[in-house]
């Protein structure tokens, strides 16, 4: 790198006017970078506020379809669905997760029928369906890896059968991407994508999400035996390498802002699309800052989203997607 010296070099020359800043800008944020996570609940024409995520609601299927249409209109390429499963359908083994008539599958079918041209991403993990809030099947106090894989394969299968375009395993079991890929190939779903939550950390930023899907109050203990240790970076690269070898089409880093170094490292080491999930706690933090008058909401939203692009993301899952899209459209 060549560095100039003052006064022959004056970095402010390039920043002096708006047209020049436009011309010199290294990264660009577009509505095509945004993926919108939506929470689904049973019922009709009802939006229920999520207290820990001001501005976000759980929606009944009819309203999710409306939101999908709005996303499409705004130019957002894809939405991600998360179910709030009624307590009476939760069980030790999360069996509702493999029911082809479950809330997520019915939602996927409704969206496909009415808003065919938007990408649908479905999570694969058992936590919305288990009475203990863990992402897998618990045996002797431990989330059993290989038993859980059997359930995840079936969960992925019913979701693609319903019309899901992208399977996103968020469970962090070993070997799940390979197991799902083999199943999809065998059952002739050759074109279903897998977006692997490759580097997903055992984070304190998931709290509001767990309220939204109703797993928070149920969760006993933590998820540290499968989600990653926030202290680790090299391990994230091993996780990404495994998921690519097993058949992932894209990978994800989660949470987002506290892990931008991981995004950058993944980008530098692998040539595959990398997404980040700006998670519920990050959303809540921005909303809290704005509500407290500590920062301008719109500016905070756009600046944080741009930082994902600068770190090397191909796109971002964000609860601010629709708002950001409106801002980007001016
Ligand atoms: C489920 C899942 C979680 C999130 C996405 N999928 C929660 C968790 O792992 O406990 C978090 C998303 C968010 O906080 O916005 N496995």
pLDDT tens digit sequence for 67-90: 999 999 999 999 999 999 999 999
Pocket test for ligand 1, best of 55, 56, 58, 127 (most atoms within 8 A of CB): 127
Tally of domains within the chain: 1
pTM higher than 0.75 for the full model? yes
Confidence (pLDDT) at 3: 80
Is the pLDDT at 328 greater than 90, yes or no? yes
Q: Which residue segment(s) compose the domain that 97 sits in? A: 34-328
**DSSP class of 235:** H
282 within ligand 1 shell (Cβ under 6 A): no
Say if residues 92 and 138 touch (Cβ distance below 8 Å). Answer: yes
Atom of ligand 1 nearest to the CA of 133: 10
Is the pLDDT at 180 greater than 90, yes or no? yes
**Chain Cα centroid distance, residue 63:** 20
Residue owning tokens 């939550």: 197
72 is catalytic: no
Which whole-number Å values give the CA distances from 255 to 133, 160, 170, 201, 311, in the listed order?
A: 19, 26, 12, 7, 14
Per the prediction, the chain carries an average pLDDT of: 97
Is 2 contained in some domain?
no
Is 199 contained in some domain?
yes
Query: Cα Rg for the chain, rounded, in angstroms?
Result: 20
Length of the chain: 330
> In the chain, pLDDT over 90 holds for what percent of residues?
96
Is 119 contained in some domain?
yes
Is 24 contained in some domain?
no
pLDDT tens digit sequence for 125-177: 999 999 999 999 999 999 999 999 999 999 999 999 999 999 999 999 999 99
Side-chain-side CA neighbours of 293 within 13 Å: the count stands at 0
> What secondary structure, in 3-state letters, does 49-102 show?
ECCCCCCCEEEEHHHHHHHHHHHHHHCCCEEEEEECCCHHHCECCCHHHHCCCC
Is 3 contained in some domain?
no
Is 264 contained in some domain?
yes
Q: How confident is the model at residue 24 (pLDDT cuts 50, 70, 90)?
A: very high
Q: Please give the Cα distance from 300 to 187 (Å, whole number).
A: 45
pLDDT tens digit sequence for 190-244: 999 999 999 999 999 999 999 999 888 899 889 999 999 999 999 999 999 999 9
pLDDT tens digit sequence for 1-21: 888 899 999 999 999 999 999
Q: For residue 43, what are its two tokens?
A: 């019922």
170 within ligand 1 shell (Cβ under 6 A): yes
For residue 98, the domain's CATH number is 3.20.20.70
Is 4 contained in some domain?
no
Is 175 contained in some domain?
yes
112 is catalytic: no
């Amino acid at each position: 790198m060549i560095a100039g010296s003052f006064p022959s070099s004056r970095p402010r020359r390039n920043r002096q006017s708006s047209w020049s800043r436009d011309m010199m800008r290294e990264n660009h944020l577009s509505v095509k970078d945004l993926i919108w996570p939506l929470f689904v609940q049973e019922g009709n024409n009802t939006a229920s506020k999520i207290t820990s995520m001001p501005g976000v609601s759980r929606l009944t299927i009819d309203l999710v379809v409306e939101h999908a249409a709005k996303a499409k209109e705004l130019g957002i390429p894809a939405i991600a669905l998360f179910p709030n499963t009624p307590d009476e359908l939760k069980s030790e083994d999360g069996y509702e997760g493999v029911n082809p008539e479950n809330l997520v599958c019915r939602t996927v079918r409704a969206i496909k029928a009415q808003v065919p041209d938007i990408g649908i991403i479905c999570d694969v993990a058992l936590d919305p369906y288990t009475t203990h809030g863990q992402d897998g099947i618990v045996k002797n106090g431990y989330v059993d890896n290989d038993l859980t894989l059997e359930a995840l394969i079936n969960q992925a299968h019913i979701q693609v059968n319903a019309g899901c375009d992208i399977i996103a395993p968020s469970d962090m079991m070993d070997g799940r991407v390979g197991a799902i890929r083999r199943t999809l190939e065998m059952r002739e779903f050759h074109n279903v994508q897998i977006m692997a939550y490759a580097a997903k950390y055992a984070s304190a930023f998931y709290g509001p999400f767990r309220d939204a899907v109703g797993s928070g109050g149920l969760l006993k203990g933590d998820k540290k035996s499968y989600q990653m240790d926030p202290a680790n970076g090299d391990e994230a690269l091993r996780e990404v390498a495994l998921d690519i070898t097993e058949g992932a089409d894209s990978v994800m880093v989660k949470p987002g802002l506290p892990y931008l170094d991981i995004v950058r490292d993944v980008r530098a080491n692998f040539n595959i699309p990398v997404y980040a999930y700006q998670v519920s706690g990050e959303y809540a933090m921005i909303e809290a800052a704005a509500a407290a008058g500590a920062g301008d909401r719109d500016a905070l939203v756009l600046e944080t989203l741009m930082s994902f692009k600068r770190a090397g993301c191909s796109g971002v899952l964000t609860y601010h997607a629709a708002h950001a899209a409106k801002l980007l459209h001016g």
